[in-house]
């Protein structure tokens, strides 16, 4: 492409470093250091949390940071920012992505942050201003937070037409790192991939064609454990822009997957699969499932590579458990939809290393380990899948006729003993034209839950190993909150 992703990344870093005196700080590992409130690093600001809170060790280099720029490896597959369910469904949420960011710690504030962002996007990257929308915080009466009119006025001064400035509430324009931690009102820049629309008719910026690219957060508070907001010792700026989304804009692609960050992966997947090539958003309707599989596998193998390189291996709890689910999900898509042979996933690792290894050299260093871990876990999972298939077949052979319901005890054992998510069990039975005795299954689950809550043994965490969705948690009646992964803390 005219402007490769590597250039897009370096233009960003150089703009803030050379033109605006920011210090370039390397990406931290995706495993958060000493922050139990996080499963994975989910934003560029995580490693700077002590500065926001005024708790940076005065002897550390961090204590002297005023203006900083970086490109951070982020994973959003658990905790408050969990995009796992969207990945593959849309073309701009990934489990792993790179966040470009600039920070001011008690140095510049709203005016300079907005004008630098605008100048970078429209002058340096050359994005037409009439494709951009800007949102700002509309205030929230209930929490006593005022509308951020200051920011609205700054954008008006910069020249953003009033019709392209949109006020939104807490959910959209008040950024929070997690259940606790630094937070504040934000202003977000969105790009319209289509253009030519009547801005006044745009009531919601979250359409697939209008994609959020950059978030500028004005850190002013800390969300405390008791949910109150405490004013921070100094006001800071924290921005984050998804590299993949920016690259799609600059390479004039509607989808992140059609950029040079992903196309080599999609090609490699195609070479190993027995299905047609990836067709993206222009594909025929019946190609949807295959396309989604391409996206999921391309996304997940990046995440697996980056996480394993940073020492997060697939395992039984916390971030490790999330990674195990990501691995199993990719294996299923490879085998079941893409009809690719065992070992496919690991053969994609060198492609990831090719794309990202120059910026994140740990990928080069750890490439062999990544390949081994992926292969081991894949083999293990495929063997339990096979065992499960045999179990189902045996039970089917015993059944008199196909109209009979499938024994719940077998379905339950697939789940409990082989760690199959229940929706996978349903799917496998559906493919064979039978269904499970739901009432009996519910009863088995209820008994199991009672047992588990009586004993609080490892049994229930085993049960949870492969829970894939919030829906399933609800079905199981397991206490959980909306962020979907919180139950782990109570069970681990
Ligand atoms: P969205 O509303 O699209 O989910 P967000 O508001 O959750 O994004 P922020 O927390 O504001 O995202 O993060 C800053 C930027 O990081 C976003 O503007 C976007 O460009 C990028 N980003 C966020 N989540 C993802 C993701 N899952 N994959 C790729 N890029 C992302
Ligand atoms: Mg989000
Ligand atoms: Mg958003
Ligand atoms: Mg945002």
Average pLDDT of span 103-107: 96
276 and 246 in a single domain? The answer is no
Inform me whether the pLDDT recorded for 333 exceeds 70: yes
For 35, the token pair is: 């922050």
380 within some domain: yes
Dump pLDDT digits (tens) for 166-176: 999 999 999 99
pLDDT of residue 454: 61
Dump pLDDT digits (tens) for 287-298: 688 999 999 999
Which of 30, 84, 97 has most ligand 1 atoms within 8 Å of CB, for mutation? 97
Nearest atom of ligand 1 to the alpha carbon of 87:
27
Which candidate, 21, 43, 12, 24, places its Cα nearest to that of 117? 12
Inform me whether the pLDDT recorded for 186 exceeds 90: yes
* Residues around ligand 4, an ion, CB closer than 5 A: 215
135 and 186 in a single domain? The answer is yes
Nearest atom of ligand 1 to the alpha carbon of 206:
2
Inform me whether the pLDDT recorded for 3 exceeds 90: yes
413 and 356 in a single domain? The answer is no
Helix axes 408-418, 422-431, angle to 10 degrees: 130
Q: What is the distance in A from the centroid of ligand 3 to the CA of 418?
A: 38
Ligand closest to the CA atom of residue 92? 1
Band (pLDDT 50/70/90 cuts) for residue 378 is: very high
For 376, the token pair is: 């081991």
Q: Of the candidates 394, 424, 449, which is a domain's last residue?
A: 394
Helices (H), 310-437: 318-332, 344-347, 349-356, 362-365, 367-398, 408-418, 422-431
- Is the dihedral angle over the CA atoms 168, 102, 245, 247 positive or is it negative? positive
256 within some domain: no
**Beta strands, E only, 89-199:** 96-105, 132-137, 165-168, 174-176, 181-192
372 within some domain: yes
d(CA 327, CA 344): 12
In this structure, which residue's CA is closest to atom 24 in ligand 1? Answer: 93
Which of 204, 212, 322 has most ligand 1 atoms within 8 Å of CB, for mutation? 212
Nearest atom of ligand 1 to the alpha carbon of 213:
20
157 and 233 in a single domain? The answer is yes
Q: What is the distance in A from the centroid of ligand 2 to the CA of 408?
A: 38
Q: What is the percent of the chain with per-residue pLDDT over 70, rounded to a whole number?
A: 88
Tell me which of 218 and 280 has the higher pLDDT.
218
Helices (H), 141-181: 149-158, 170-173
pLDDT of residue 202: 65
Nearest atom of ligand 1 to the alpha carbon of 245:
20
CATH number at residue 147: 3.30.930.10
Helices (H), 260-366: 263-272, 288-309, 318-332, 344-347, 349-356, 362-365
Q: Is 426 left (phi over 0), alpha (psi -120 to 50) or beta?
A: alpha
Inform me whether the pLDDT recorded for 153 exceeds 80: yes
pLDDT of residue 463: 36
| 116 Cβ neighbours under 8 A, 6+ residues apart | 15, 16, 20, 102
360 within some domain: yes
For 490, the token pair is: 């109570």
For 328, the token pair is: 């199993």
257 within some domain: no
Range of the domain at 37: 5-250
* Residues around ligand 3, an ion, CB closer than 5 A: 212
Nearest atom of ligand 1 to the alpha carbon of 83:
27
d(CA 240, CA 65): 18
What average pLDDT does the structure give for the chain? 87
255 within some domain: no
- Is the dihedral angle over the CA atoms 120, 123, 126, 132 positive or is it negative? positive
Which candidate, 353, 4, 8, places its Cα nearest to that of 213? 8
Which of 70, 245, 483 has most ligand 1 atoms within 8 Å of CB, for mutation? 245
126 and 211 in a single domain? The answer is yes
In this structure, which residue's CA is closest to atom 9 in ligand 1? Answer: 215
70 and 207 in a single domain? The answer is yes
Q: What is the distance in A from the centroid of ligand 4 to the CA of 215?
A: 5
Nearest atom of ligand 1 to the alpha carbon of 211:
3
pLDDT of residue 12: 98
Beta-bridged to residue 192, according to DSSP, are: 210
209 within some domain: yes
Stated pTM of the model:
0.87
pLDDT of residue 452: 66
343 and 481 in a single domain? The answer is no
C-alpha to C-alpha distances, 325 to 60, 208, 416, nearest whole angstrom: 37, 27, 16
Inform me whether the pLDDT recorded for 466 exceeds 50: no
Beta-bridged to residue 75, according to DSSP, are: 96
Band (pLDDT 50/70/90 cuts) for residue 203 is: low
**Which residue in this structure is represented by tokens 């050379």?**
18
Which candidate, 399, 394, 374, places its Cα nearest to that of 312? 374
Pairing verdict, β 67-75 and 23-24? parallel
Of 128-132, 241-245, 455-459, which gets the smallest average pLDDT?
455-459
Beta-bridged to residue 87, according to DSSP, are: 90
Nearest atom of ligand 1 to the alpha carbon of 186:
11
**Which residue in this structure is represented by tokens 């990831």?**
352
Nearest atom of ligand 1 to the alpha carbon of 189:
18
pLDDT of residue 462: 37
In this structure, which residue's CA is closest to atom 27 in ligand 1? Answer: 93
d(CA 309, CA 10): 23
245 and 316 in a single domain? The answer is no
67 and 101 in a single domain? The answer is yes
Decide: 372 and 409 in contact? Cβ < 8 Å.
Answer: no
Nearest atom of ligand 1 to the alpha carbon of 246:
20
15 and 108 in a single domain? The answer is yes
Which of 166, 184, 242, 298 has most ligand 1 atoms within 8 Å of CB, for mutation? 242
pLDDT of residue 420: 78
Inform me whether the pLDDT recorded for 201 exceeds 90: no
d(CA 379, CA 398): 29
Of 48-62, 275-289, 423-437, which gets the smallest average pLDDT?
275-289
Helices (H), 66-158: 110-119, 149-158
Cα–chain center distance at 228: 27
Which class for 240: exposed (0-12), middle (13-18), buried (19 or more C-beta within 10 A)?
buried
For 167, the token pair is: 């006020």
pLDDT of residue 425: 83
Q: Of the candidates 200, 217, 250, which is a domain's last residue?
A: 250
Average pLDDT of span 62-66: 94
pLDDT of residue 456: 46
d(CA 91, CA 96): 13
Which of 215, 218, 255 has most ligand 1 atoms within 8 Å of CB, for mutation? 215
Q: Of the candidates 394, 414, 447, which is a domain's last residue?
A: 394
In this structure, which residue's CA is closest to atom 4 in ligand 1? Answer: 93
307 and 235 in a single domain? The answer is no
Of 289-303, 350-364, 418-432, which gets the smallest average pLDDT?
418-432
Rg (CA), the chain: 24
For 378, the token pair is: 């894949």
Which secondary structure element, helix H or strand E, spans residue 464, and what is its range?
A: helix 458-464
The torsion angles phi and psi of 77, rounded to 5 degrees, stand at -135, 20
Inform me whether the pLDDT recorded for 375 exceeds 90: yes
Ligand 1 pocket list (CB less than 6 A): 76, 81, 83, 93-94, 97, 99, 175, 212-215, 240-242, 244-245
d(CA 419, CA 458): 13
Q: What is the percent of the chain with per-residue pLDDT over 90, rounded to a whole number?
A: 64
118 and 73 in a single domain? The answer is yes
Q: What is the distance in A from the centroid of ligand 4 to the CA of 280?
A: 25
Of 95-109, 132-146, 312-326, 457-471, which gets the smallest average pLDDT?
457-471
The torsion angles phi and psi of 176, rounded to 5 degrees, stand at -130, 140
Ligand closest to the CA atom of residue 240? 1
Of 12-26, 133-147, 444-458, 474-488, which gets the smallest average pLDDT?
474-488
d(CA 462, CA 64): 46
In this structure, which residue's CA is closest to atom 31 in ligand 1? Answer: 242
Number of domains in the chain: 3
| 196 Cβ neighbours under 8 A, 6+ residues apart | none
The torsion angles phi and psi of 352, rounded to 5 degrees, stand at -60, -45
């Amino acid at each position: 492409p005219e402007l490769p992703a590597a250039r897009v990344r370096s233009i960003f870093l150089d703009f803030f470093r050379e033109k605006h005196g920011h210090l370039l700080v390397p990406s931290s590992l995706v495993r958060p250091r000493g922050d139990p409130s996080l499963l994975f690093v989910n934003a560029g600001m995580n490693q700077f949390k002590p500065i926001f809170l005024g708790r940076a060790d005065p002897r550390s280099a961090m204590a002297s940071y005023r203006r900083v720029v970086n490109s951070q490896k982020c994973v959003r597959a658990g905790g408050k920012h969990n995009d796992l369910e969207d990945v593959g469904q849309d073309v701009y949420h990934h489990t792993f992505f790179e966040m470009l960011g600039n920070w001011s710690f008690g140095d510049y504030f709203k005016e300079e942050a907005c004008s630098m962002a605008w100048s970078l996007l429209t002058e340096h990257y050359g994005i037409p201003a009439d494709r951009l929308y800007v949102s700002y915080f509309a205030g929230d009466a209930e929490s006593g937070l005022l509308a951020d009119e200051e920011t609205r006025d700054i954008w008006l001064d910069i020249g953003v037409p009033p019709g392209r400035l949109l006020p939104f509430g807490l959910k959209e324009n008040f950024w929070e790192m997690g259940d606790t931690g630094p937070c504040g009102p934000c202003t977000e820049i969105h790009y319209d991939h289509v253009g030519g629309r009547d801005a006044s008719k745009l009531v919601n910026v979250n359409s697939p064609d209008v994609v959020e690219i950059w978030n500028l957060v004005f850190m002013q508070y800390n969300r405390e454990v008791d949910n109150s907001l405490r004013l921070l010792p100094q006001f800071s700026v924290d921005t984050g822009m998804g590299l993949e989304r920016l690259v799609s804009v600059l390479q004039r692609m509607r989808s992140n997957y059609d950029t040079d960050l992903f196309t080599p992966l999609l090609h490699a997947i195609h070479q190993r699969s027995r299905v047609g090539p990836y067709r993206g958003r222009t594909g025929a309707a019946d190609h949807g499932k295959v396309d989604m599989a391409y996206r999921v596998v391309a996304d997940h193998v990046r995440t697996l590579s980056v996480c394993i390189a940073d020492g997060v291996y697939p395992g039984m709890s916390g971030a490790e458990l999330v990674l195990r689910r990501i691995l199993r999900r990719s294996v299923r898509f490879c085998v079941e939809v893409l009809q690719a042979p065992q070992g496919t996933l690991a053969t994609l690792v060198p492609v990831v290393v090719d794309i990202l290894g120059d910026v994140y050299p740990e990928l080069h260093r750890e490439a062999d380990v990544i390949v081994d871990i992926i292969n081991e876990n894949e083999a293990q999972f495929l063997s339990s899948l096979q065992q499960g298939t045999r179990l189902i077949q045996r039970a089917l052979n015993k059944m008199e006729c196909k109209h009979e319901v499938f024994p719940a005890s077998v379905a339950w054992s697939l789940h409990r003993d082989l760690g199959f998510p229940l929706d996978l069990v349903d799917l496998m039975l559906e493919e064979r034209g039978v269904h499970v005795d739901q009432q009996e299954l519910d009863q088995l689950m209820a008994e199991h839950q009672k047992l588990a809550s009586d004993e609080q043994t490892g049994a229930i965490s085993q049960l949870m190993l492969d829970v894939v969705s919030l829906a399933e948690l609800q079905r199981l009646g397991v206490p959980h909150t909306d962020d979907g992964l919180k139950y782990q803390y109570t069970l681990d």
